[in-house]
Amino acid sequence: MALLQISEPGQAPDPHQHRLAAGIDLGTTNSLVATVRSGASEVIEDERGRALLPSVVRYCPDGTVAVGADALAQASTDPTNTVVSVKRLMGRGINDVQIDRAAYGLVDAPGMVRLRTRAGDKSPVEVSADILRTLRQRAEAALGGELNGVVITVPAYFDDAQRQATRDAGRLAGLEVLRLLNEPTAAALAYGLDNAAEGIYAVYDLGGGTFDVSILRLTKGVFEVVATGGDSALGGDDFDRRIVEWALRETGSSGANVEPGDWHESGDWRALLIEARRAKEVLSREPMTTFSVQLSGATRVRLPLTAERFEELTADLLARTINATRQALRDARLRVDEVKGVVLVGGSTRMPQVRRAVAGFFGKEPLSGIDPDQVVALGAATQANLLAGNRSAGDDWLLLDVIPLSLGIETMGGLVERIVYRNAAIPVSRAQEFTTFKDGQTALALHVVQGERDLVEDCRSLARFELRGIPKMGAGAARIRVTFQVDADGLLSVTAAELSSGVAASVAVKPSYGLSDEEIGAMLQSAHDSAGTDAQARALREQQVEAERLLEATNAALAEDGALLGADERTRIDQLLVKLAQARGGADAQAIRQAISTLSIGTEGFAARRMDRAVARALAGHGINEIGS
């Protein structure tokens, strides 16, 4: 795989001026901001010494916006105006949303879902911007000046829409977003893995709402992400939910027959989740705890919970993370014993059973010297520091990330021509030449798709655009170069240019909403399952396209030179045309191939006569015996 040098912004800075830069981990549960001071990365705390900012935003009755712990404290009393886990909604349409729908008034809006609050309908971008604004104020107060730029981290699996939404949130918060960086990549940087022994490293990131695993390869100081995997709907929150479900089962009638909607309205559901989380975190250091919640009404839930029982309740969740890890290694075509080191990221990796499972799977103890909540922000800070221009000699390593699903365009017959393959390192630029299908064709419709399947209808449509003004030429004569470019943030732009005339058109792909990890997983699975049927479908479509081409060419020839045929010959060819048209309408590739072949043979004589006539016209004015003399 070609390694591409990344050219960075912030060139030629004044070497004596230190530019203020920060790394921001915009998390599902918590967010952090970090910076490099005196050569070392450190997390910036708020005025009360707290590093983690809960990613919670409350639109208060007095018109103010509370962000962080204050907002979290009201989450159960004012749930509809208090937004938690907004990251799950970034760049998503209403149908993609898999959170507790009933907890908010979700509003269907073009592109991205919105949240109905007392401060009006809020887009997830606005809510995230409120979190980022708080972090910005914290950093600027601590650093004593305006930030020149930030790096914001995103899960490796975020697609274009989710990345774009994150970038927009940064802009809305008044931040100069120098780069979006994949979270696992940032974590590897924090551990200084770019200076480590060459080889393969894995980053296992289990946060509050997402699980990501990345496989990195280090070669000669060059850092490449060779595969990513994970599940954006699996995290510490699910472990909390398991405790709540267990508590409801144990207490029998006290809540089990209450509809979830009622729970959300009363705020009890949130209260149960908050207690579950507390209990879970205690069980990371103690063998048992008491799960105790006062619900609205007179109900009190009070139950002992042991670490052992908690492990049993959540064993399948842990197994899912290990399976996804195995899959990422498979995607990278690597064996588990080829992995040199493993990095733990995310607050949920504090659970002892997680550490044990990861160590067991890789056969080695994971690296965990850096606080797993801070490691991503710390790595992002080092990257922000470099991008802002605070470099020193030897700092010029580059980062490579990968494309989660292949990108391509639709060709004749609804087939996909893949141009950038899954797991290609970004930034990447790939071009391919195409041509026109019809004589005199002056426009070309381009349809950009993402996915692993052969047929367009099985892939996700990203964008459509047209190239117009192609000079009139015979079918197949035009040379149209289509270039796919994915920038360092994973954003795609596609350009099409006709090479002889220079006419060009392009599109920046901003899909209206994103793909969930389940969708990505499902698309990969279906590509795998349907490799055989896809090959058959491809063969059929190819024959159909060939049939179409031959029908058009024959009809055009008949219109032009039909006079060269006798009545019998004409009838025979017309019959063959009908047969081919019928076969093309069916689903039997073999029958179409046969009909193509029969028509080709049946028109050989006609073709020869047309050729003679063309030669005769070309030679008009020359005596026939001049040929060959």
Q: Which is nearer to ligand AMP, 283 or 462 (CB)?
A: 283
Residue 122 annotated to the active site: no
Which residues on neighbouring strands pair with residue 507, listed in sequence order? Answer: 494
Residue 321 has a CB neighbour count (10 Å cut-off) of 26
Q: Do 240 and 277 meet the contact criterion of CB atoms below 8 Å apart?
A: yes
Three-class SS state of 67: strand
Quick one: which H or E segment has residue 105? Answer: strand 105-107
Catalytic residue among 183, 224, 401, 458: 183
Shortest distance, CB of residue 395 to ligand AMP, whole angstroms? 27
Catalytic residue among 205, 240, 458, 489: 205
Residue 331 annotated to the active site: no
What are the residues binding ligand AMP (CB under 6 A)? 27-30, 207-208, 236-237, 277, 280-281, 284, 346-348, 350-351, 373
Q: Which is nearer to ligand AMP, 346 or 602 (CB)?
A: 346
Shortest distance, CB of residue 242 to ligand AMP, whole angstroms? 12
Give the CA dihedral 374, 378, 381, 386, nearest 10 degrees: -160
Shortest distance, CB of residue 187 to ligand AMP, whole angstroms? 11
Residue 588 annotated to the active site: no
Burial (CB < 10 A; 0-12, 13-18, 19+), residue 297, is exposed
Q: Which residue is closest to ligand AMP by CB?
A: 236
Q: Which is nearer to ligand AMP, 280 or 422 (CB)?
A: 280
Q: Which is nearer to ligand AMP, 138 or 350 (CB)?
A: 350
Q: Which is nearer to ligand AMP, 22 or 206 (CB)?
A: 206
Long-range pairs, 91-94, Cβ under 8 A, ≥24? 91/124, 91/158, 91/159, 91/161, 91/162, 91/163, 91/164, 91/165, 91/166, 91/513, 91/514, 92/124, 92/161, 92/162, 92/513, 92/514, 92/516, 93/512, 93/513
Shortest distance, CB of residue 223 to ligand AMP, whole angstroms? 22
Q: Where are the alpha helices (DSSP H) in 14-74?
A: 69-73
d(CA 259, CA 265): 10
Q: Do 357 and 318 meet the contact criterion of CB atoms below 8 Å apart?
A: yes
Shortest distance, CB of residue 385 to ligand AMP, whole angstroms? 22
Shortest distance, CB of residue 50 to ligand AMP, whole angstroms? 13
Residue 430 has a CB neighbour count (10 Å cut-off) of 17
Residue 183 annotated to the active site: yes
* Longest CA span, the chain: 113
Q: Which is nearer to ligand AMP, 212 or 458 (CB)?
A: 212
β-pairing verdict for 415-420 and 339-345: unpaired
Catalytically annotated residues: 25, 87, 183, 205
